[in-house]
Amino acid sequence: EAGVTQSPTHLIKTRGQQATLRCSPISGHTSVYWYQQALGLGLQFLLWYDEGEERNRGNFPPRFSGRQFPNYSSELNVNALELEDSALYLCASSFFVSRSAGELFFGEGSRLTVL
Amino acid sequence: GESVGLHLPTLSVQEGDNSIINCAYSNSASDYFIWYKQESGKGPQFIIDIRSNMDKRQGQRVTVLLNKTVKHLSLQIAATQPGDSAVYFCAEGPMNSGYSTLTFGKGTMLLVSP
């Protein structure tokens, strides 16, 4: 069974540009989570989608947005890129919403570099 | 892949040693804790979890200890192997809440020498 897949693996952009990252969850998983992992910092929660709806949002500015498609895949968009947006962006999926019932599975991430 | 381990505390051990990785958490309301392993260029991988009604839980070669009094969590790895080299980090949060409420630690890099 395929795990969580993310694309692209690496992305280089310049300040002010837009970046789009994509994620395909494990088959059967309806929840998709996005996290930012900057060097030296813990994972920071960005967005949670379930059944096509945004369920929760982390403490990030509105230029971080996304969506979930009917097939449960998801897209993260970062507009007006800033240097500090350089980070590893991780996508994760789960079958259950509650942690008590299941595990969170992570993809290998998309490395975004903003020059 | 690019390492996520820069600027992290590092624990260096010899193959066969036991390793202990520590994590201090800050939220007294947290009652669920998870340890993750992240190898270079890969996403985090679940290792073991523990609920606050327990103070110890064992898995395969790993043991998690929870001390709620001092808000401290530790991960013990027995007979450490080179394949255990990775960044390890803890996560905490309320049990009956979604993954979006987890708070993640910065992590510790474990280096295992043959």
Residue B5 has pLDDT above 50, yes or no: no
Residues of chain B contacting A111 with CB distance shorter than 8 Å: 1-2
Question: Is there a domain that residue B30 lies in?
Answer: yes
Question: Mean pLDDT lowest for which of A9-23, A68-82, B89-103?
Answer: B89-103
Contact B98 A99 (CB under 8 A): yes
Residue A50 has pLDDT above 80, yes or no: yes
Contact B89 A42 (CB under 8 A): yes
pLDDT of residue B2: 39
Substitution target in A99, A103, A104, A112 with the highest count of B β-carbons within 10 Å is A99
Read off the pLDDT band of A103 (50, 70, 90).
confident
CATH number of the structural domain spanning residue B99: 2.60.40.10
Residues of chain A contacting B1 with CB distance shorter than 8 Å: 108, 111
User: Rounded mean pLDDT of B12-30?
Assistant: 93
Q: What H or E segment, with its residue span, contains residue A42?
A: none
Question: Is there a domain that residue B3 lies in?
Answer: no
Question: Is there a domain that residue B2 lies in?
Answer: no
Q: Express each pLDDT in B51-96 by its tens digit.
A: 999 999 999 999 999 999 999 999 999 999 999 999 999 999 887 7
Question: Is there a domain that residue B11 lies in?
Answer: no
Kindly write down the DSSP assignment for every residue of chain B, as one continuous string.
Answer: ---S-TTS-EEEEETT--EEEEEE---TT--EEEEEEE-TTS--EEEEEEETT-SEEE-SSEEEEEETTTTEEEEEESS--GGG-EEEEEEEE-TTSBGGG-EE---EEEEEE-
In this complex, is the C-beta atom of B26 within 8 Å of any C-beta atom belonging to chain A?
no
Nearest to B46 among A35, A39, A103 (CB): A103
User: Rounded mean pLDDT of A68-88?
Assistant: 97
Nearest to B100 among A4, A39, A48 (CB): A48
Structural domain tally of chain B?
1
Q: Please report the domains of chain A, with CATH numbers, ordered by start residue.
A: 5-98 (2.60.40.10)
Cis peptide before A61, with omega less than 30 degrees from 0? no
Contact A106 B106 (CB under 8 A): no
Supply the range of the domain harboring residue B49.
21-113
Identify the contact set of chain A against chain B, taking CB-CB distances under 8 A. 4, 31, 33, 35, 37, 39-45, 48, 55-56, 58, 88, 90, 92, 94, 97-100, 103-109, 111
User: Rounded mean pLDDT of B89-104?
Assistant: 85
In this complex, is the C-beta atom of B46 within 8 Å of any C-beta atom belonging to chain A?
yes
pLDDT of residue A102: 55
Question: Is there a domain that residue B81 lies in?
Answer: yes
For residues A95 and B12, which has the higher predicted lDDT (pLDDT)? B12
Read off the pLDDT band of B3 (50, 70, 90).
very low
